[in-house]
Structure 1
Amino acid sequence: MDIEWAPNFRAGQPENPVSLVQLSDGELIVLVHVACMTSAPVELAHLLSDPETIKLGVGIKQDATKVLRDLGITCAGIVELKDVCPPEKLVELTTKPPIRGLSWYVGTYLNRKLAKAKSDQLSNWAARNLTARQLTCKSIYYISFVSKKFLFFSSFDPI
């Protein structure tokens, strides 16, 4: 699971609401462009709130908080990617653990480079028509690939 929203470039202004919810089971990628809807689909709310359906992501706890605030949906069954990675690959943590993004996990565990430019992250996800580059969603492809690889090696308790 991942979410996107249109950036706000005005200092002191709150973040824009969630524009896009990205979900994948490793076979199918679903993009729910909530920015173009009057409310989030009931099916999306059921899926996100189902504790039996695991939602894996990087920074997913923060995403779940934003989904609750913006869409009024409580996410259950969420798992942080760092919590399911095999420990032999994790760097020894100091008093302050390093913040790892998806590109680090893809490089470390898959030995690949994630082509997600800063301009992709800062693009207008609330636009009525998303660009072909936005629709590519390489990040969700990799997160689903990584999740299939590591869920077999880890035990975890989803939130």
Structure 2
Amino acid sequence: MDWDDEPVSQEELNAIEAAFDYASSLFQKRKTNSTLDTNTPAKICRRLPDWESHDRKFQPRVSRFEARSKLNGGIESNSKSGSGSNSSPRNGSWGSRLRPHRVKVTVNPSIKFGGQIVYCRTVPEVEKATAELMELIEAKQKNMEQVTLGLDIEWRPSFRRGEVPRKAAVMQICGDTSRCYVLHIVHSGIPPTLQLLLEDPKYLKVGVCIAGDADKVSKDYNVHIKSLEDLSSLANHKLDGVPRRWSLAALTEMLTGKELEKPKNIRLGNWEVGILSEDQLQYAATDAFVSWHIYEILKSFPDRPQNQVGEQVDASKS
């Protein structure tokens, strides 16, 4: 409405004057009360910050919702507040300092067995798996190939001092990239056909610390695995540098550039369970496959000169 369009009536003028007189009386009353007692301490009042002033150093707190928006790229806050000043908490400039991100960086891709995993937990299943392994062995022998089997075992760990070690629960065997056998021997035992294969010296069994695994199988099942090749010792005869005790994971990273994952919840889990989980099967199969695969890589390397190996051994002892 434009005030110049219509004249103001006398009633409106009287109302305006009455309102002005009332406001003036309130002001005079407040002024009189403030001077009655100068000894009365002044009340402490909280002063709200002047949000509009850009000269103040005080900045408003950012709400949890706004902080989350800034961490998500400032999309929500920018769409509500517009461009704004760089010092405004709504433009996303504060978001990166509100809550740090924890980022898991994987340097190398992980290695996993990608073939068929054959899981056996009964005597007939283990015997069938042994027959299939013998077919693989015979095919390699016909092609004049060396018969090599990646072998590893798993058992339930003991966490109490003085507790009797648990029996070997799982034996995994792998001879190529297509198939790996996971044998739940704590339930099936080791049938005679599998025992013959393990004790045959013509078939090389490879792995890291495989002599210790063979010793445990001998104590637990009275089966004596023969023809063993320790991958750590083989690596020290093939690779340059000071000899060391190689783990399977370290050899895998060195020779393939990939990571052999060893999650504790699986490695230290219950291998005596009635039926192994998919994660346990994948873990066991990958260990046997990687043992076979690392051997195939190492055997293609030339042997280090014996004098160089001896010098490195002496240097490591000194």
Q: Same fold (TM over 0.5)?
A: yes
Residue pairs, 1:64-83, within 5 angstroms: 64-83=214-233
| Alpha-carbon separation, structure 1, partners of 2:240 and 2:221 | 34
More relative contact order in 1 or in 2 (CA 8 Å, sep 6+)?
Answer: 1
Residue 88 (structure 1) shift: 5.4
1:119 Cα deviation (Å)? 2.0
**C-alpha displacement of 1:141:** 2.2
Distance change in 2, residues 1:62/1:45 (3 Å) = same
1:136 equivalent to 2:286? Answer: no
Question: Following TM superposition, by how much is the alpha carbon of 1:11 offset from its aligned partner in structure 2, in angstroms?
Answer: 1.4
Give the structure 2 partner of residue 59 of structure 1: 209
| Partners of 1:45 and 1:88 in 2: CA distance | 32
What pairs up with 1:8-157 in 2 under 5 angstroms? 8-27=158-177, 28-37=179-188, 39-85=189-235, 87=237, 89-93=239-243, 98-137=244-283, 138-153=286-301
CA distance in 2, matches of 1:25, 1:126: 25
Secondary structure, in 3 states, of the residue corresponding to 1:76? coil
1:111 Cα deviation from its structure 2 partner: 1.1
3-state secondary structure, aligned to 1:85: helix
Question: Which AA in structure 2 matches 1:112?
Answer: K
SS at match of 2:252: helix
Distance 1:109 1:86, change over 3 A: farther
Output the amino acid matched with 1:32. Answer: L
Q: Which runs of 4+ in 1 moved over 4 A?
A: none
Identical columns (%)? 25
Alpha carbons 2:153, 2:172 under 8 Å: kept: yes
TM-superposed CA distance for 1:99, in Å, is 2.9
Q: Deviation string for 1:35-54 (max 9, x for gaps)?
A: 112x3111221111010000
Q: Could you list the per-position Cα deviations for residues 52-110 of structure 1 after superposition, in whole angstroms to 9, with x for gaps in the alignment?
A: 000000010100100000011001011101232374535313xxxx4321100001111
Alpha carbons 1:120, 1:134 under 8 Å: kept: yes
Partner Cα separation in structure 2 for residue 44 and residue 154 of structure 1: 34
Pick closer, same or farther for the CA change 1:152–1:119 going to 2, 3 Å.
Answer: same
TM-score (norm 2): 0.45
- 5+ residue gaps, structure 1: none
Structure 1 contact 102–143 (Cα < 8 Å) conserved: yes
2:259 is matched by which residue type in structure 1? K
Give the AA of the match of 2:186: A
Structure ranking higher in helix proportion: 2
Query: For residues 249 and 165 of structure 2, what CA distance do their matches in structure 1 show?
Result: 24
1:145 Cα deviation (Å)?
1.4
What is the aligned residue count? Answer: 150
* Equivalent position SS for 1:105: helix
